[in-house]
Amino acid sequence: MWISFFKLRLFCCLLAVLMVVVLVINVTQVEYLDHETVSATFIDSSGQFVSSQVTGISRNPYCGYEHQTLSSRERMEEDSLLAALQWQVPDVGPVPFLKSTDPSSSYFVILNSAAFFKVGSQLEVLVHVQDFQRKPKKYGGDYLQARIHSPKLQAGAVGRVVDYQNGFYKVFFTLLWPGKVKVSISLVHPTEGIRVLQHLQEEKPHRVYFKSLFRSGRISETTECNVCLPGSLPLCNFTDLYTGEPWFCFKPKKLPCSSRINHFKGGYLKGLLTAAENAFFQSGVNIKMPINSSGPDWVTVIPRRIKETNNLELSQGSGTFPSGYYYKDQWRPRKFKMRQFNDPDNITECLQRKVVYLFGDSTIRQWFEYLTTFVPDLVEFNLGSPKNVGPFLAVDQKHSILLKYRCHGPPIRFTTVFSNELHYVANELNGIVGGKNTVVAIAVWSHFSTFPLEVYIRRLRNIRRAVVQLLDRSPKTVVVIRTANAQELGPEVSLFNSDWYNFQLDTILRKMFSGVGVYLVDAWEMTLAHYLPHKLHPDEVIVKNQLDMFLSFVCPLET
């Protein structure tokens, strides 16, 4: 009996040891496969999912946007957008600092000077740029910003700049109010600085880097993440299954990809420029510096007769430039009558029984903050979300108003966003039923400034597709797009968030949503035309005008 019991115990021990050996072998094999194999999922032009297993990866760097499969129509649109944004910078080889554009030596002159102008007249200004040796430059490519303004009237409007590629620029203004009107021209970046920014955009898309924390039990690891990742280490593929938006993290050494718990901005790469290149980015020297006039810098504008004014209004086409102007600190769009929502009750009446969705970056989060501060009945509901990240929710139960804010999916430079809150705008739009009581506002631009333009084009293509589908199923849904805006610039900020980068994004956004059936809040002109300093997050008076325009789309004047 004891012999049989001993044999049984021996058999059980041997079986247990065998099971442990098999388990170790399997775990080792799984870990080996996990390290050596990366799953890549993309969507082809027909919208079908295409999945492939990539083994022995070699990337330098790996960029998901290079692996897109576009339809012929999408390819044609992308090529057209990129061609339209070709900045004419001559290939003149290395240029020493003294031969670069000097705003203090450059000047402008009003061409069609007259005793007076009438409201609606065109004003032409010629700009001649020179270098630091006070010698005329023979090529173009500088980035200029121009506006007209009347400080006493708190009035302002932007101008259109034409580069003649020979050191001369012409700026065209439409005179839109009577009085003494002053001209201001600024050099944002010299040609030589633009060449550096182009190189960074094409060769250093990872100069802003992101990270994610992976955790399982007591083990935690942090790795770098991005659309583009240099090197050849194994990756975790977080490409979105519905939009095909690529996102990758370097794989943790000990943890599986599924253990990711958050996303956050890692930082900014340093030492991007040589000493010679740094000279083209100096505050107080060649970043957003004024160019002075060689003569009078102002004109006198007199009112038009009533009949002429009516004809002027009727002649404004769909391509109206500028889109609007400030007068007495109020924005006046040229294509429609904008309402003033100066009382919280006006906003409550407009938004009653409506659900308002705000999607995007921190510049549209400002709208949420303004509304919840200005309208006392709109009470923010504490969701326990991280400050400045969201998602956020505000409710006015008495008037049945629901206001929501959610940030867009990566890339996003917020402090910490939980992984389960990384939602793409297109996917959110696909989950909205829509209707006459549904309002959607979108602002997606600031966090894409460091990437090649193809990354932004793809993101907008996905959002546009979702917007079109939303308007198809619910035509009475109001969809509003907030454009990019100018901001303060210094030597470092210029390398990551330059107005030149954001001007490109703004141009793409306008072209891609033209004719889609959405409304546009022209934040770009609203910041450039105003007398206040440029800021990434504009001051309250500018935000208030943005909200007045937004609400005027939601609740237009009866005509």
Mean pLDDT of each 10-residue bin along the chain, 559 residues long: 51 56 41 35 30 33 69 94 91 91 98 87 97 97 98 98 97 97 98 96 91 97 91 91 94 97 95 96 98 96 72 49 97 95 98 98 97 97 84 97 97 92 97 97 97 95 98 98 98 97 98 97 98 97 98 90
Please report, as a single letter, which amino acid is at residue 8. L
The pLDDT, as a whole number, for residue 93 is 83
Entry pTM: 0.86
The pLDDT, as a whole number, for residue 115 is 75
The pLDDT, as a whole number, for residue 464 is 98
CB 303 within 8 A of CB 178: yes
The pLDDT, as a whole number, for residue 27 is 37
The pLDDT, as a whole number, for residue 37 is 32
CB 500 within 8 A of CB 85: no
Listed in sequence order, the residues at least 6 apart from 460 whose beta carbon sits closer than 8 Å to its beta carbon are 444, 508, 509, 512, 513
The pLDDT, as a whole number, for residue 23 is 45
The pLDDT, as a whole number, for residue 308 is 54
CA 263 to centroid of chain Cα atoms: 19
Alpha carbon distance, N-terminus to C-terminus of the chain: 103
Token duo for residue 255 = 């943890």
The pLDDT, as a whole number, for residue 343 is 97
**What residues form DSSP beta bridges with 285?**
none
Considering only CA atoms, give the Rg of the chain.
28
Write down all domains in the chain, each with its CATH number in brackets.
97-189+287-307 (2.60.40.10), 208-268 (no CATH), 330-554 (3.40.50.1110)
Please report, as a single letter, which amino acid is at residue 111. L
The pLDDT, as a whole number, for residue 31 is 37
Q: How far is CA 275 from CA 64, 94, 281, 475, 493, in A?
A: 32, 13, 10, 56, 17
351 vs 399: CA distance, rounded Å: 8
7 vs 25: CA distance, rounded Å: 27
